[in-house]
A and B are shown apart, each in its own frame.
Chain A
Amino acid sequence: MSNINQPSFDHIKFMTNFQGIEDLAIETINSFLESLPKLALALETAIHKMSADEIELAAHTLKGAISNFYAEPAKLAAWKLEQMSHGSDLQGTKVAFSNLKIELDRLERDLKIFLSERRAA
């Protein structure tokens, strides 16, 4: 379930990591927003195929990309999917993916807001 009270990402931790290379932070957000549909589609396709190995890899890759933004709710949702791929019943992955999608949409929205605020500043 989505936790809308928790920020979708920690912008302070994220920007601290890019201290001195702030331009790269903006470039990274843009690059992530560009890659996100492809990363999510890879996971969705793996779930559709019910391929445990592909689900694990796609969820792991997506989790790695998300973690760069200290986006804990989305990271946790991706981690759950990665863990589910180790089990024998993959049916639950569809619901888990829906939850992840909610977190990804929230993250995408907040990253875009962050970008526009940076541009305005």
Chain B
Amino acid sequence: MTTKTILIVDDSEFDRQLLTKALTAKGGFKIMEARSGDQCLEILSTQKIDLILMDIMMPGTFGTEVLMKIREKHNPIELPIIMVTSKADASDVIRCLQSGANDYITKPVTFDVAVTRISTHLRLAEVSREMSRLQEMAALDAMITTYNHEINNPLAIAIGCLNAPLLKDEVAVEKLKSSLWRVADIVKKIRSVTEKKEAEYEQYASSGRTIKVR
């Protein structure tokens, strides 16, 4: 598994550095830091980030404002966001979750809890992406099956016509026949590919493991 990159957004240098060191040591994550909402958005525009851990209260901005800006470009599946709050006020937490946060943790941050929550959201994001790929693959399979059928029908008719008594030029007929059989062969191969995919889906469903579909 590749090392995941977490972006910590907190104006407090002390809290930011402590979290960076603890999550690196306990979770093995690669950590990037931003001291403001603006810096967070700047980093997001140039770097690949797997999850954001963001303080709810920063100077000049409330965490939810940054959160909503991020959600304009990144959905909760591709980029999970966990808010960090020292506020006991439930309304702040609710506001964050309604603005697109995936989860929240409270200060003081219990490092083991933070690592577990982060890992869970990273795994959920991975499974969601895998499910999207499988759905994409299923749609492709359906499309291939349809085209296979659509090509096969006129092909059979065309091959049948080759035996008609009016076709005189034997060389041309042979060439046409050979070409049409080549197309038929390709159609057969496409069909065998989709049949194989169906078998892999069954294996996926029974074992519950993810499979490589690409």
Contacts and interface: CB of A to CB of B under 8 A. Distances in A.
Contact of A67 (B13, B25, B107): B107
Interface string B12-25: 11110110011001
Nearest to A34: B14
A64 B12 contact: yes
B210 interface: no
* Most B-side CB within 10 Å, residue of A21, A35, A61: A61
Interface in A27-58: 27-28, 31-32, 35, 39, 57
A9 B12 CA distance: 21
Interface range for B: 20 to 34
Interface string B137-152: 0000000000000000
Contacts of A32: 14
B108 A21 contact: no
B11 interface: yes
A28 B21 CA distance: 10
A24 B12 contact: no
Contacts of A35: 13-14
A28 B112 CA distance: 17
B66 interface: no
Given A21-B22, A24-B22, A31 B14 contact: yes
B123 interface: no
Nearest to B57: A60
Given A21-B26, A61-B12, A68 B108 contact: yes
B76 interface: no
Interface in A64-81: 64-65, 67-70
A111 B7 CA distance: 30
Nearest to B11: A61
Contacts of A68: 15, 18, 107-109
Nearest to A63: B86
A27 B26 contact: no
Contacts of A69: 108
Interface string B169-197: 00000000000000000000000000000
16 contacts: A19-B112, A21-B26, A21-B111, A24-B25, A28-B18, A31-B18, A57-B59, A60-B57, A64-B12, A64-B86, A64-B107, A65-B14, A67-B86, A68-B18, A69-B108, A70-B108
Interface of B: 11-15, 17-18, 21-22, 25-26, 57, 59, 86, 107-112
Given A21-B25, A63-B86, 10 more contacts: A18-B22, A20-B25, A27-B21, A31-B17, A35-B13, A64-B14, A65-B14, A67-B108, A68-B107, A68-B108
